[in-house]
């Protein structure tokens, strides 16, 4: 059993009671909602004649279903329109703050909350979305939940949960040039496997992690769930505090100093106990690309797709399925695989720093004629900032389409979808079968810089060959 880690401290602080079955009842300090997983929860409140207990602790935005080409209302898609209207109505009725399209603060929920300063160290955070683990980058403990649990948080501001074990993933040294947080987290998931994190919170630690910017840390924590860990976090440091300072909802004036003292007390103690510790060398990580149908099926850019014999017995079943679905041969190189669509965006890699890195690769270059490329900023704020820096123009001049903020083709709930068995180079988080909107569409996950490189060459490429 872990002791004195940040996870233990924050969990214990939020524990309300031990429930009759033996689970813990945990207070949720910040509840984020969106249009897809909340309507049935509000419906259930109504059925049970319950109110929202702390409406001021819930914040809403709309992201999954929003179109990225034309956001004027009503949306062309009636079902999407119905979903946004339902959210508007529920927020109004229950006095929940809603960052709607055009507010200047709309966007992917896991991009918006940090940029507003809502996400802070020491908080417990829940949202009806598995990528809620993103917020752990700030030293909060954050959990993806389902709709019934959204109902519970709305009604009671608490959740019934069993305490997770804690695994520290210690990353030595630092990433080399042309290698990004996305590569590191894909590497980690590949080494540990997609189910190693079941029952665990992941603490990402070590020099390579603290070298990362806050946005890169969010990329790492975001994908904890792809390794099976519902929660991933990083101990807060000066970078965390300076990111939060002066944000809209950050503590102000005299409160800032008090917050800082408390935040500094939260990090895992030096002699804290972990249920497990894994060490790896970040300097050895290379640009990484998935070749299969789980985020764990990845290889370095210059490696071959593994042979069946090279895989452990447990991995063989899914590998066979992956070769067939992806039409890849064991032993084939991933490099030079032709791509049809290039997508930059998502809660994993749709932040301003992601767009800057991709723009740096694209500057004065053209997207291959065979590729449809588009970029979807993670939020209205990201879009505004990018425009101020001229990044939108770099994308457009290269041949990328510049879109409006939303989740877009990460999960393809709007009209941004793959067609047939197209191959996409995608900065998103999931390469599951059918994930990007076509039942036989194929997704190769990679960093935004690698997506930009693939767009230029029309095939999977090593971005380091394009960087000066």
Partner 1 sequence: MKTEFKPPIGKISNINGQCISLIGNDIDTDRIIPARFLKCVNFDSLGESVFEDDRKTFKGKHPFDLEENKNASILVVNSNFGCGSSREHAPQALMRWGIKAIIGESFADIFYSNCIAIGIPCFTLPKNLIEEIQNYCLNQFLFLEIDLKKSLAKSTDLNFNLEIKESSRKMFLSGEWDGTLTLLENENLIENKFTQLPYIKFNTNFI
Residues 130-149, interacting with partner 1 (CB under 8 A): 130, 132, 144-149
Range in contact with partner 1 (rule: CB under 8 A) among 174-182, 381-389, 390-398, 437-445: 437-445
Range in contact with partner 1 (rule: CB under 8 A) among 49-57, 202-210, 337-345, 446-454: 49-57
CA 328-336-352 angle, to 5 degrees, is 105
**Least separation, in Å, of the C-beta of 389 and partner 1?**
27
Measured CA distances, 100 to 58, 191, 262, 288, 346 (Å)? 14, 40, 33, 36, 18
Q: Which residues on neighbouring strands pair with residue 183, listed in sequence order?
A: none
The CA distance from 137 to 237, in Å, is: 10
Backbone angles phi, psi at 181, to 5 degrees: -55, -35
Q: Based on the shown chain and the rule CB under 8 A, indicate whether residue 364 belongs to the binding site for partner 1.
A: no
CA 444-127-165 angle, to 5 degrees, is 80
Residues 16-35 contacting partner 1, CB under 8 A: 16-17, 19-23, 25, 27, 29
Two tokens, residue 270: 């030096």
**Least separation, in Å, of the C-beta of 243 and partner 1?**
16
Spatial contact of 86 and 96, defined as CB atoms under 8 Å apart: no
**Least separation, in Å, of the C-beta of 36 and partner 1?**
5
Range in contact with partner 1 (rule: CB under 8 A) among 106-114, 184-192, 377-385, 430-438: 430-438
Among 435, 447, 450, 456, binds partner 1 (CB under 8 A): 435
Spatial contact of 339 and 423, defined as CB atoms under 8 Å apart: yes
Which are the contacts of 194, defined by CB distance < 8 A and separation ≥ 6?
A: 226, 227, 228, 294, 295, 296
How many residues touch partner 1 under the rule CB under 8 A: the total is: 92
Range in contact with partner 1 (rule: CB under 8 A) among 105-113, 152-160, 333-341, 386-394: 152-160
Task: Return the residue matching tokens 């457009």.
Answer: 396
Among 230, 267, 381, 403, binds partner 1 (CB under 8 A): 230
Q: Based on the shown chain and the rule CB under 8 A, indicate whether residue 115 belongs to the binding site for partner 1.
A: no
Residues 293-332 contacting partner 1, CB under 8 A: 294, 314, 317-318, 321
Q: Based on the shown chain and the rule CB under 8 A, indicate whether residue 384 belongs to the binding site for partner 1.
A: no
Among 33, 375, 382, 411, binds partner 1 (CB under 8 A): 411
Binding mask 232-271 for partner 1 (x = CB under 8 A): ----------------xxxxx--xx-xx--x---------
Range in contact with partner 1 (rule: CB under 8 A) among 116-124, 182-190, 348-356, 376-384: 116-124
The CA distance from 47 to 44, in Å, is: 5
b/e map of 161-196 (b: 16 or more CB within 10 Å)? bebbbbbbbbbeebbeebbbbbbbbbbbbbebbbeb
Residues 278-297 contacting partner 1, CB under 8 A: 294
Two tokens, residue 62: 């709309």
Spatial contact of 362 and 455, defined as CB atoms under 8 Å apart: yes
Question: What angle, 0 to 180 degrees and rounded to 10, lies between the N-to-C axes of helices 147-156 and 39-48?
Answer: 50
Q: Based on the shown chain and the rule CB under 8 A, indicate whether residue 54 belongs to the binding site for partner 1.
A: yes
Range in contact with partner 1 (rule: CB under 8 A) among 129-137, 281-289, 368-376, 456-464: 129-137
Nearer to partner 1, 255 or 329 (CB): 255
**Least separation, in Å, of the C-beta of 403 and partner 1?**
18
**Least separation, in Å, of the C-beta of 348 and partner 1?**
13
Nearer to partner 1, 232 or 458 (CB): 232
Other beta carbons within 10 angstroms of residue 397's beta carbon come to 15
Q: Based on the shown chain and the rule CB under 8 A, indicate whether residue 432 belongs to the binding site for partner 1.
A: yes
Q: Based on the shown chain and the rule CB under 8 A, indicate whether residue 167 belongs to the binding site for partner 1.
A: no
Q: Based on the shown chain and the rule CB under 8 A, indicate whether residue 194 belongs to the binding site for partner 1.
A: yes
Among 88, 86, 79, 84, residue whose Cα is nearest residue 63 = 84
> Residue 139 burial (CB < 10 Å; 0-12/13-18/19+)?
buried
Among 412, 451, 454, 460, binds partner 1 (CB under 8 A): 412
């Amino acid at each position: 059993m872990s002791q004195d880690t940040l996870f233990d401290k924050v969990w214990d602080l939020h524990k309300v009671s031990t429930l009759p079955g033996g689970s813990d009842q945990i207070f949720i300090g910040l509840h984020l909602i969106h249009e897809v997983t909340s309507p049935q929860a509000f419906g259930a409140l109504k059925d049970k004649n319950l109110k929202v207990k702390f409406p001021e602790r819930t914040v809403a935005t709309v992201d999954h279903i929003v179109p990225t080409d034309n956001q004027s209302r009503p949306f062309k898609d009636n079902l999407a329109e119905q979903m946004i209207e339902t959210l508007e109505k529920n927020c109004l009725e229950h006095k929940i703050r809603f960052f709607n399209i055009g507010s200047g603060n709309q966007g992917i929920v896991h991009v918006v909350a940090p940029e507003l300063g809502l996400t802070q160290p020491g908080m417990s955070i829940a949202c009806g979305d598995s990528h809620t683990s993103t917020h752990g980058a700030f030293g909060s403990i954050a959990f993806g939940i389902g709709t019934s649990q959204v109902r519970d948080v709305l009604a009671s501001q608490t959740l019934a949960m069993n305490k997770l074990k804690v695994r520290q993933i210690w990353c030595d040294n630092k990433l080399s040039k042309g290698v990004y947080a996305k590569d590191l987290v894909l590497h980690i998931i590949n080494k540990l496997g997609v189910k190693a994190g079941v029952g665990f919170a992941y603490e990402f630690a070590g020099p390579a992690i603290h070298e990362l910017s806050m946005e890169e840390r969010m990329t790492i924590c975001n994908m904890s769930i792809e390794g099976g860990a519902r929660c991933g976090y990083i101990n807060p440091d000066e970078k965390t505090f300076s990111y939060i300072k002066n944000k809209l909802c950050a503590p102000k004036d005299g409160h800032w100093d008090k917050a800082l003292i408390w935040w500094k007390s939260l990090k895992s103690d030096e002699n804290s106990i972990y249920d497990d510790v894994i060490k790896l060398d970040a300097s050895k990580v290379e640009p990484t690309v998935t070749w299969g149908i789980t985020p764990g099926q990845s290889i370095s850019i210059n490696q071959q797709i593994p042979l069946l014999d090279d895989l452990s017995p447990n991995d063989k079943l899914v590998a066979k399925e992956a070769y067939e679905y992806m039409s890849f041969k064991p032993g084939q190189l991933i490099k030079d695989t032709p791509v049809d669509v290039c997508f930059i965006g998502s809660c994993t890699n749709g932040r301003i720093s992601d767009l800057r890195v991709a723009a740096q690769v694209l500057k004065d270059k053209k997207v291959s004629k065979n590729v449809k490329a588009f970029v979807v900023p993670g939020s209205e704020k990201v879009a505004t900032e990018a425009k101020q820096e001229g990044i939108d123009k770099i994308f457009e001049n290269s041949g990328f389409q510049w879109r409006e903020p939303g989740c877009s083709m990460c999960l393809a709930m709007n009209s941004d979808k793959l067609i047939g068995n197209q191959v996409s180079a995608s900065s998103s988080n999931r390469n599951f079968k059918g994930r990007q909107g076509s039942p036989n569409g194929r997704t190769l996950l990679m960093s935004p810089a690698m997506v930009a490189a693939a767009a230029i060459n029309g095939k999977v490429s090593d971005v380091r060959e394009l960087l000066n």
